[in-house]
Amino acid sequence: MKILIIGANGTIGKKVAQALSSKHEIITAGRTSGDIQMDITSAQSIEAGFKQMGSLDACICTAGTGYYGKLDTMTEENVYSGIRNKLMGQINVVLIGQHYLNDNGSITLTSGILSEEPVRNSSCVAMLNGGINSFVLAASLELTRGIRINVVSPGLVEDSVERYGASFPGIDPVPMNKVVNAYIRSTEGAITGKILKVYA
C-alpha cells in the first residue's frame, strides 16, 4: 500500500512509519519535515499536500496539539488554538483526504486517553480528544467507496514519560509496540468506526 503518515517525525508517528515501512510505501509529512510539508492548521496546506501525493491507499495522522493549562486562566483563544490544530486539523485531513484515497482505503486519526481519564490542566485537550472520537464514529457511517476510518486513542506512551510523566501521576506507561499495533490494525485490517483504546 501507499501510505501517507502525517506527523511522521513525532514520538508516535516515527515508530508507526518504521513499523509499516517494511511492507508498504511510506510517504512522510510534517509541518517542517518529511517527504512533503503539510501544516494541518491550514486547509490549503492539506489540499496542496494531497495533490502532490496523488492517489493513496491509506492516511495516518498522528499530528496535532492542544492547550494544557489551568482552567481558571484558560482563555477562549487557548481553546480555539487547539480546535484549529488537533481537532479541525484532523477533521480537514478527512474532509480533504477522502477524495484522494483509492477505493477501500483507510484513514486513521489520533485522540488520547484524556477524553475519558482527564488529569489536571487537561480540560482543553480532553475536549479535543472527545470531539475527534465522536467525529470518527459518525463519519464512518457516511464515507463512500469502501473507505474506512478509525481513531487510535493512546494513553501515556513509554517514549513520552520523560516529557509528560509528571502530568499523569500513577498512570502506567503504554508500551510503544502496543500503540503501533493499533495503527497497523486500523490500516491493514477491516475495521471501521472504531476507537482503538491503548491505555495499558
- pTM for this predicted structure: 0.96
Cα–Cα distance measured from residue 73 to residue 178, given in angstroms and rounded to the nearest whole number = 36
What does DSSP say about strands 25-30 and 101-110: parallel, antiparallel, or unpaired? unpaired
Beta carbons within 8 Å of 29's beta carbon, 6+ residues apart: 4, 5, 6, 7, 8, 35, 36, 37, 38, 49
Could you read off the pLDDT of 54-73 as tens digits, one per residue? 899 999 999 999 999 999 99
Confidence class of residue 166 from pLDDT cuts 50, 70 and 90? confident
Q: Quick count: other Cβ atoms within 10 Å of Cβ 65?
A: 16
pLDDT at 169: 84
Residue 149 forms beta bridges with which residues? Answer: 107
Residue in 99, 174, 109 with CA at minimum distance from that of residue 137: 109
